[in-house]
Structure 1
């Protein structure tokens, strides 16, 4: 199965983001973007790709420990950016150090469970809101997102998410995500 760990924004944060994204759809170049939907909005912490079923029990144990060792932290959706000319994202503000630490712990848990992970890179908190099949000028969208400031929420759960890839050749088909398991972070204070 195809897996990753994530932080999932709560419904009020998703609603705020959906209002901001709606305003982007009329900007120059926005028509060439494939917008991700609300069900797919998440902050990926560690992407594992295809994972053999036999490794999942140990992975779950290790992720539970990683969650327990991490204190819940404040987070909010904020601003935006792009990766090259094909991916548009919204950023985060608040407990970014804690978020990076949780991402590192999730990555380490996967490695220790025997999952071959890509080369470890410094974590960049981002929630992808759109992708382009070809190079697109994303600057108008990034500029419009600069002032976006969501309400603070408590990041308090680590989720293991299963990614089901879209069926090729089916118009409008998108990846589907389902939470396979989740663990509470240590309560703050």
Structure 2
């Protein structure tokens, strides 16, 4: 089985600014630099043939490069308790277009339609029931502003779970722009 997701990886300057916010909530499990990304679509566990079909379908996704910007922070709750804090990604027509095309590619590969609303963000920390209050951190980071960056590709990742958390391994990079560009395997989709 392969645990997959499709994401955009911000450049180093953006990652540095995001890492600077990763402190101030007791008991939070902060994401490391190599874990920060904007998820376009979480796929979950699939068999190798589906992983290969997905990789091929994503190669047919064409979109122009576009700019993104992070501004502010927020959180997700479950049953009234915060479980994730994140950096907000501002709305972008280019991002919406790419997200829609990635979703269609997932369906071409036989995956069910995503039922959750797309909320563009970069997860910064996961919170357990024992985590400290988040209000002071949200107040401190609420005005976070990171310079715009140009998105020139998206990536199919494989997630490997271990005792220390998740390790995200890029499988295939998909460049944006001209329709004659080809996907670039980063590593094998299958093991």
Name the TM-score, length of structure 1 as normaliser.
Answer: 0.84
Pick one of 130, 136, 140 that aligns with 1:140. Answer: 136
* Candidates 102, 105, 108, aligned match of 1:106: 102
> Aligned match of 1:183 in 149, 174, 179?
174
Separation in 2 of the partners of 1:19 and 1:103? 28
Q: CA deviation at 1:58?
A: 2.3
Query: How far did residue 155 of structure 1 move?
Result: 0.9
Shift of 1:143: 1.6
Aligned length: 172
Structure-1 separation of matches of 2:136 and 2:103 = 34
Per-residue Cα deviation, 1:69-95 (whole angstroms, up to 9, x for no partner): x111111222100001121000112x6
Superposition deviation, residue 118 in structure 1: 4.2
SS in 2 for 1:31: coil
For structure 1, list consecutive stretches of 5 or more residues without a partner in the other structure. Answer: 168-172
Structure 2 contact 66–151 (Cα < 8 Å) conserved: yes
**RMSD of equivalent CA atoms:** 1.7
Whole-angstrom distance in 1 between the partners of 2:114 and 2:40: 13
Asked if 2 retains the 8 angstrom alpha-carbon contact of 1:51 and 1:115, the reply is no
- In structure 2, the gaps of 5 or more residues are 179-191
Instruction: Please state whether the residue corresponding to 1:32 is helix, strand or coil.
Output: coil
Q: Who is 1:58 aligned against?
A: 53
> How much does 1:136 deviate?
4.8
> What's the TM-score, normalizing by structure 2?
0.83
Using the alignment, how far apart are the partners of 1:80 and 1:14 within structure 2? 14
2:28 corresponds to which of 19, 27, 33: 33
Which residue number in structure 2 is paired with residue 155 of structure 1?
151
Would you tell me which structure has more helix in proportion to its own residues?
1
